[in-house]
A and B are shown apart, each in its own frame.
Chain A
Amino acid sequence: MEFNDTKEEAAFRGEIRTWIDNNAPDYLFEPLSTSGFGSIQLDGFDPMAEAKQWQKTKAEAGWACLQWPKDYGGQGASPIESVIWNQEEGVYGQLSRMFIIGQGMCAPTMMTFASEDQKQRYLPKLASGEEVWCQLFSEPHSGSDLAGLRTRAEKDGDDWVINGQKIWTSGAQHSEFGILITRTDPEVPKHRGLTMFFLDMKSAGVDIRPIKQANGDSGFNEVYFDNVRIPDAQRLGGVGEGWKVSLTTLMNERLAIGGSITTGFPEIKELVDQLRIASGTAINDPAVRSKLADWYAKSSGLKNTAARAISALSKGEVPGPENSIGKLVAGGMMQDIAKFSLDLQGLSGAIVDPEIAAGSARLQAMLMRSPAVRIEGGTDQILRNIISERVLGLPEDMRADKGMPFNKIPVGN
């Protein structure tokens, strides 16, 4: 067992550090460090333009999507090397958030199911940030029950014609392409009638409308499809095999989200080190210490669990569904930390103006954003189902629609 770098790892880390010192947009260091959680504010700079520029700089120097094969824009690096990169990229890594869905979820799906020509055409531009991708999965009537989705794809010559609506699509307004799961056969049980595609988001009939979220931001969109035509060549996997294809994406989603986890611990530690409460400095209060210890133990547990997953990856093992714990633990913890941090500040804790509130109001932003963390990419409840069924081997819950043709399933309203 060894946590320190090997000689090679230390050398690699040194190389990255030097390159980042010489090339990173250091004028963004300050705004990125204090930027509100859930959305990036860059003091007048355009976040998308800056993100694309940084990604391009990295790609040209060979630092983008390190672990991808060289042919597709990566360097064929080991999992450990890409972890070292992420550690050293530090605060600038936030700029890569715009590309997480595309690089972390769409790309693995493309690598597994697209043709060689398509991989050559799309993956390098996805790696370099020149083209942004999104994932069109959730629908107004199918969130946790994703396989109940209704967006139709009907064959017409060499094309498929798409009609329906997706929702909660992150970054659709910035995306050139997307992967899309549709229903191609409503007469078979729900998991068997699905088919996956990728499409050009500028196709005729695609209408993107931002959703105003409960926290006031608009990171997600509704996407409407009105007779959108997709060539059959852009089908990923067989007709009726979309569910299997989606599992590749979703497992990577949990890894991608689990990999860069925000818990709120550093923020509350910084707060209680300074904050004065009735009993003195907050960090010296026994009730504060007890909670702080619990949260540190959890966030450290997540960090060490991730390190074990990387260790397993580097030995060629496949990380399993046990990695579902990351988001489950972090989401609830962030919400609790945010609530307690505000509580310690009395009514002043309610102030959300980053110019006035302690810690640039990051904890207030976490309070308002954390409900979504506990829903997106698998709700807390779905994650507990996954853990109990796939890790612990407990029996499936009774399903009222089991084996029923999709078009016979009761829908309520």
Chain B
Amino acid sequence: MNFDFSDDDKMVQDQINRFLRDNCGFDEFRSVLEGDATYSDSVWRGLSEMGVQGTAIPSAYGGVEAGYLSLCLAARELGAHLAPVPFSSSIYLAVEAIQRTGSEVQKEEWLPKLASGQVIGTLAVTETLQEQVPEDITTTFAKGKLNGIKLVVPHGLMADVAVVLARTSDGLSLVLAPLSDVMRKSIDTVDPTMGSATITFKDAPAELLGESHDGWSAMSAVYNRAAVLFAFEQLGGAERALDMAVGYAKERFAFGRPIGSFQALKHMMADMYVALKLAESNCYYAAWALQNDADELALAAATARVSATQAFQLCSRDNIQVHGGMGFTWEYDCHLYYRRSNYLALVLGGLTTWEDKLVSALPDAA
């Protein structure tokens, strides 16, 4: 047993951390939140130059083939720095869907461009105002054309290609659609840096992803893999939100002493740490399951997802509490974590859905 990342993986993580520290401060997030940019092009290009998008993509398809453990650590850094780039949609969702379900021709066409960051991808599922079940999907795919409306597509605003869950004559399928001739409209969400869009497909050209398959199970399989990577982003964010709270509590004085010396606040931050630590250990185990495509992946992914969602939501929420009134101003950065944590909690389906998946994955004699 060796329950740790390799020195090589940690070295790559450190390089990404240094790049983001120097190039992806809160001002980048705010340039998207407050400005006209839909994402940070400079950060996206910088990551491309380092080959981060291609971390887990096989070299045959233009990737670095450094494996999923390394990608998990990259995700942690992206989450920690709240990077306003379409990385998660493009890499955890589109790339995973194409790799798992796509045909050889589709992989050869799309993976190299996704690996280099030249093309941005996403996964389009949600159509109605509730947690999606198969019956909610009414977008149709027939004779090479997609028709329907996807209500909220993460990074749909800037994606070049989407894997779309659509209804075919066989039931649901994943369909690959270039987004050059579709109507897209920005849709406001709790985290405006996630580039969410409503996309209308009207006789839009598309093709079935790979061979005939069950689209809902194919999507769920992608979600299981993506859940591990999102969990690492959540972990990174939770850790920074806690650091921010601790840093503030050491410097801010009230009643003649640092507020971090009051047990009411210390114990709150201890609980944040506990949630973070539990999530971190579950994430490590899930990273191993992802890398090895282990039988335990479904359970490990749901477990990491549940505890990382809990940890990020708790840490971002109580970071505001530690900051008091200042934490609720637009000027302070606490709400950036709060926004991101609450968007990421929903992006693959909410906590309740993942709790349900976790219990379904439990072995009978747990």
A407 at the interface (CB under 8 A from B): no
- Give A296 to B285 CA distance when docked, in angstroms: 14
B267 at the interface (CB under 8 A from A): yes
B285 contacts A297, CB within 8 Å? no
- Give A292 to B302 CA distance when docked, in angstroms: 13
Query: Known: A294-B306, A297-B282, A302-B278. Is A388-B355 also a contact (CB below 8 A)?
Result: no
A1 contacts B263, CB within 8 Å? no
Query: Known: A1-B287, A300-B285. Is A394-B278 also a contact (CB below 8 A)?
Result: no
- Give A200 to B356 CA distance when docked, in angstroms: 56
B274 contacts A308, CB within 8 Å? no
List 28 A–B pairs whose Cβ atoms lie within 8 Å, in order of A's numbering: A1-B2, A1-B4, A1-B5, A1-B288, A1-B291, A286-B356, A289-B355, A290-B352, A290-B355, A290-B356, A292-B355, A293-B302, A294-B355, A297-B282, A297-B358, A300-B282, A301-B277, A301-B307, A304-B281, A311-B1, A385-B263, A387-B270, A387-B273, A387-B274, A392-B242, A394-B266, A395-B260, A397-B261
Within 245-283 of A, Cβ neighbours of B (below 8 Å) are at 265-266, 269-270, 273, 283
B271 at the interface (CB under 8 A from A): yes
Q: Which of A307, A395, A396 contacts B3 (CB 8 A)?
A: A307
- Give A302 to B280 CA distance when docked, in angstroms: 10
Q: Which of A2, A283, A381, A396 contacts B1 (CB 8 A)?
A: A2
A266 contacts B287, CB within 8 Å? no
A305 at the interface (CB under 8 A from B): yes
B85 at the interface (CB under 8 A from A): no
- Give A298 to B306 CA distance when docked, in angstroms: 10
- Give A266 to B363 CA distance when docked, in angstroms: 11
A3 contacts B306, CB within 8 Å? no
A146 at the interface (CB under 8 A from B): no
Q: Which residues of the partner chain B approach A298 to less than 8 Å between Cβ atoms? A: 278, 307
B124 at the interface (CB under 8 A from A): no
What residue of chain A has the Cβ atom nearest to residue B358's Cβ?
Answer: A293
Q: Chain B nearest CB: distance from A144 CB in Å?
A: 12
Q: Chain A nearest CB: distance from B257 CB in Å?
A: 7
| Main secondary structure on B side of the interface with A | helix
B2 contacts A311, CB within 8 Å? yes
Query: Known: A300-B282, A300-B303. Is A1-B3 also a contact (CB below 8 A)?
Result: yes
Q: Which residues of the partner chain A approach B261 to less than 8 Å between Cβ atoms? A: 394-398
Q: Which residues of the partner chain B approach A384 to less than 8 Å between Cβ atoms? A: 263, 266-267, 270-271
A269 contacts B270, CB within 8 Å? no
A301 contacts B267, CB within 8 Å? no
Give the bracket for the number of chain A residues in contact with chain B.
Answer: 35 or more
B134 at the interface (CB under 8 A from A): no
- Give A289 to B266 CA distance when docked, in angstroms: 32
B279 at the interface (CB under 8 A from A): yes
A329 at the interface (CB under 8 A from B): yes
A393 at the interface (CB under 8 A from B): yes
A161 at the interface (CB under 8 A from B): no
B69 at the interface (CB under 8 A from A): yes
Q: Chain A nearest CB: distance from B354 CB in Å?
A: 7
A381 contacts B267, CB within 8 Å? yes
A388 contacts B266, CB within 8 Å? yes
Query: Known: A297-B310, A388-B269. Is A329-B278 also a contact (CB below 8 A)?
Result: yes
Query: Known: A385-B263, A387-B270. Is A283-B307 also a contact (CB below 8 A)?
Result: no
What residue of chain B has the Cβ atom nearest to residue A388's Cβ?
Answer: B266
Q: Which residues of the partner chain A approach B331 to less than 8 Å between Cβ atoms? A: none
**Contact digits for B271-297, partner A, Cβ 8 Å, 1 yes 0 no:** 101100111011011011001000000
Q: Which residues of the partner chain B approach A325 to less than 8 Å between Cβ atoms? A: 273-274, 277-278
Q: Which residues of the partner chain B approach A1 to less than 8 Å between Cβ atoms? A: 2-6, 69, 284, 287-288, 291
Name 20 extra pairs, CB < 8 A, besides A304-B281, A325-B277.
Answer: A1-B4, A1-B291, A2-B2, A80-B1, A283-B359, A289-B356, A293-B359, A294-B306, A297-B358, A300-B282, A301-B281, A301-B307, A302-B278, A304-B282, A305-B281, A329-B274, A385-B263, A385-B267, A387-B270, A392-B246
What residue of chain A has the Cβ atom nearest to residue B294's Cβ?
Answer: A3
Q: Chain B nearest CB: distance from A294 CB in Å?
A: 7
B182 at the interface (CB under 8 A from A): no
Q: Which residues of the partner chain A approach B274 to less than 8 Å between Cβ atoms? A: 325, 328-329, 387
